Amino acid sequence: MTNLFAKRREELLALKALRDRQSHPSLGVSQAAPCPACGQPADQRELAKALYVCPNCGYHHPVGAYYRLRTILDPSSFRELDEDIGGLDPLHFPGYGEKAQAAEGKTGLKDAAVTCTGRIHGIRVAVGVLDSRFLMGSMGTAVGEKITRLIEHANKDKLPLILFSASGGARMQEGIVSLMQMAKTSAAMEQFSRNGGLSISVLTHPTTGGVTASFASLGDITLAEPGALIGFAGPRVIEQTIGQSLPEGFQRSEFQQEHGFVDAVVPRGALRDTLVQLLQLHRRGGKLA
Amino acid sequence: MSVLTPWERVAIARNPQRPGTEDYIAGLFADFFQQRGDRLQGDDPAIVGGIALYHGLPVTVIGHRKGHSLEERVACRFGMPNPEGYRKAQRLMLQAEKFRRPVITFIDTPGAYPGMEAEARGQGEAIASCLKIMSGLTVPAVAVVIGEGGSGGALALGVANTVLMLENAVYSVLSPEGFAAILWKDAARAEEASGVMKLTAQDLVSLGVADAVLPEPEGGAHNDPAAVLQTVDKALYQALSTLLRQSGTALRNQRYQKFRAMGSWPAKGANQ
Ligand SMILES: [Zn+2]
């Protein structure tokens, strides 16, 4: 019985992950689309095998939340949390409902976050993933609520917490209430950390604004995918402020590592192994051999 | 209270003659000792803080500083802090926790400074750590939004047990100009944006983000600073007296639940 359910769950995740790839603008099913970074056409099968990292230049294509989870979780271990949570509309902002509905139709997501429990190399974990295809991964009430519930779940069950960020910042359409999600998620991180919980923050392209200035910057360990844009203010706002253009590589993962805000820049293909290593290194107790 | 449009309130909130954090510190506290620097990089004049006596009780007071003269305003980058400002605030909050002093903050900023150096020194991390440290305090924390509450740079000082707001202060996810630029690709529609953003003190109380609206004199706080000081003093005194009766754990829990309830699911109340 249990095995049958596990198999169904796995099939569902596989289907959702497949849909992720197909609906991503840069991950069309048409073969030989040119890489947005180097322009080199890539064979789709080869690209899929490389976890959507360009074999020619190493460009990391954005990937959807379910696909991401498939790449790091043990098979059959995925259990989604709070699937039904969607966004609120505290401003009754004109056109917001339609926009969110269109995003849902395109991605199959209720909002920009997927949260779950699962296992990595047999170790139980709580994982949250932001999906930049849904209104740029912006954090409104749905993302804030789901991430907070996930952190509280990890706190209660004493699970390591892994958060993948990809976000344009606060969800403008939800106004001040979306700003408050920064306080809500940060307070949950504070409580989790005070109780000894391990959190690993993985920053992917792009992580900016209110997500950078809240839970994404509060991990015990911070990892980043190569070449991801990571910052508080967006490059255009900075350029407008200082009246000049920014140097190549500014605010990218490698820059953030150099400036002390990222422990390690980890290519997608090595990410699961790095997570396994970190989870194992955080096992408590034991004795000298 | 007078009836003004949100846009008129935005203008009043931004008036350079409006009382700022320095004015409240000078008017409401005794023996202020200013603490400078973040012990890492430097001192940011856009956030001012220190220890002072409030009605005889030692407190830590921290606020955004815009300055009044043009020279001051330029030095404070018009109230937009760098990471050093937020890290100074963290340092002061941790000392308040250590010495069991209540924390009182004054919020008045268009937002954190979007500069190259600010980014290189981790503006996002600095704000995030402020949120984390303030949410974990086991001493009372009261925030007063006295002018502009712009974005994460304002919230960094706003994770308080009680959030008070002056009648003509505004508090929003982004400036109306920025909001209009992002959603309508037209910063010139800022006035229209201010009308839909629910950024007035009354809106924020209805949304459960602020606890009380503090009335201002006709035309705004700058018309009668002495009267505003008195209003703020009374509200602050009352808020602190109530909070001082609670245990440290109760204070931290109350603060947690307060922010936890914002935008929770399923939606509660008529405004969400
Ligand atoms: Zn390429």
H or E segment to which residue B92 belongs:
helix B83-98
pLDDT score, position B271 = 41
pLDDT score, position A28 = 45
Domain that holds residue A216: 62-281
pLDDT score, position B270 = 39
Report whether pLDDT(A1) > 60: no
Segment A151-174 shows an average pLDDT of: 98
pLDDT tens for B131-166 read 999 999 999 999 999 999 999 999 999 999 999 999
B197 neighbourhood in chain A, CB within 8 Å:
91, 175-176
Residue A33 lies inside a defined structural domain of this protein: no
pLDDT tens for A84-120 read 999 999 999 999 999 999 999 999 999 999 999 999 9
Alpha helices by DSSP H, listed for B5-82, are 6-14, 21-28, 70-75
Spatial distance between the Cα atoms of B158 and B134, rounded to a whole number of angstroms: 8
Residue A82 lies inside a defined structural domain of this protein: yes
The domain that holds A211 is classified in CATH as: 3.90.226.10
Residue of B123, B172, B271 lying closest to A232 (CB–CB): B123
CB atoms within 10 A of CB B192: 15
Whether B263 sits inside 8 A of A88 (CB atoms) is: yes
Report the CATH number of the B6-260 domain.
3.90.226.10
Whether A144 sits inside 8 A of B263 (CB atoms) is: yes
B-interface mutation test, from A136, A232, A258, A259, most B Cβ less than 10 A away = A232
In order of A85, A182, B162, B256, the CA distances from A187 in angstroms are: 20, 8, 16, 6
Residue with tokens 């846009």: B7
Report whether pLDDT(B268) > 90: no
Spatial distance between the Cα atoms of A191 and A171, rounded to a whole number of angstroms: 25
Residue of A91, A142, A208 lying closest to B198 (CB–CB): A91
pLDDT tens for B27-56 read 999 999 999 999 999 999 999 999 999 999
How many folded domains does chain A comprise?
Answer: 1
Report whether pLDDT(A25) > 80: no
pLDDT score, position A284 = 86
pLDDT score, position A4 = 72
Q: Give the distance (Å) from ligand 1 centre to CA of residue A256.
A: 22
Report whether pLDDT(A31) > 60: no
Q: How far apart are the first and last CA of chain A?
A: 41
| Torsion (CA) A145, A147, A148, A151 in degrees, nearest 10 | 160
A17 pLDDT band, cuts 50/70/90, is: confident
Q: What is the ipTM of this complex?
A: 0.97
Give me chain B's average pLDDT, please: 96
Q: Give the distance (Å) from ligand 1 centre to CA of residue A233.
A: 27
Higher per-residue confidence, B114 vs A1: B114
Residue A138 lies inside a defined structural domain of this protein: yes
pLDDT score, position B103 = 99
Whether A259 sits inside 8 A of B120 (CB atoms) is: yes
Residue A66 lies inside a defined structural domain of this protein: yes
Whether B256 and chain A come into contact, CB under 8 Å, resolves to yes
Segment B6-15 shows an average pLDDT of: 98
If contacts are CB pairs under 8 Å, which of residues 13-42 in chain B contact chain A?
Answer: none
Query: Which residues, other chains included, contact B230 with Cβ-Cβ below 8 Å and sequence gap of 6+?
Result: none
Spatial distance between the Cα atoms of A109 and A87, rounded to a whole number of angstroms: 11
In order of A13, A65, A163, A190, B263, the CA distances from A116 in angstroms are: 12, 11, 11, 20, 20
Helix axes A65-72, A2-23, angle to 10 degrees: 130
Q: Which of A37-46, A144-153, A196-205, B182-191 has the lowest mean pLDDT?
A: A37-46
Which tokens belong to B45? 């004049």
Higher per-residue confidence, B9 vs A286: B9
Spatial distance between the Cα atoms of A261 and A254, rounded to a whole number of angstroms: 10
pLDDT score, position A21 = 64
pLDDT tens for B193-230 read 999 999 999 999 999 999 999 999 999 999 999 999 99
Residue A37 lies inside a defined structural domain of this protein: no
Whether A232 sits inside 8 A of B114 (CB atoms) is: yes
pLDDT tens for B98-122 read 999 999 999 999 999 999 999 999 9
How wide is the angle at C-alpha A271 spanned by C-alphas A72 and B132, nearest 5°? Answer: 90
Peptide bond just before B114 cis, omega within 30 deg: no
pLDDT score, position A19 = 76
Report whether pLDDT(B169) > 60: yes
User: Over pLDDT 70: what percentage of chain A?
Assistant: 95
Half-sphere exposure of B147 (CA within 13 A, CB side): 28
A10 pLDDT band, cuts 50/70/90, is: confident
A150 pLDDT band, cuts 50/70/90, is: very high
CB atoms within 10 A of CB B7: 17
Spatial distance between the Cα atoms of B74 and B72, rounded to a whole number of angstroms: 5
Whether B125 sits inside 8 A of A217 (CB atoms) is: yes
Helix axes A141-157, A175-194, angle to 10 degrees: 10
Whether A242 sits inside 8 A of B174 (CB atoms) is: no
In order of B10, B157, B164, the CA distances from B105 in angstroms are: 21, 6, 10
B272 pLDDT band, cuts 50/70/90, is: very low
Chain B nearest CA to A174, separation (Å): 8
Write phi, then psi, for B228 (nearest 5 degrees). Answer: -65, -40
Spatial distance between the Cα atoms of B272 and B262, rounded to a whole number of angstroms: 10
Residue A12 lies inside a defined structural domain of this protein: no
Residue A57 lies inside a defined structural domain of this protein: no
pLDDT score, position B262 = 97
Whether B124 sits inside 8 A of A212 (CB atoms) is: yes
Q: Which of A27-31, A61-65, A211-215, B61-65 has the lowest mean pLDDT?
A: A27-31
Domain ranges of chain B: 6-260
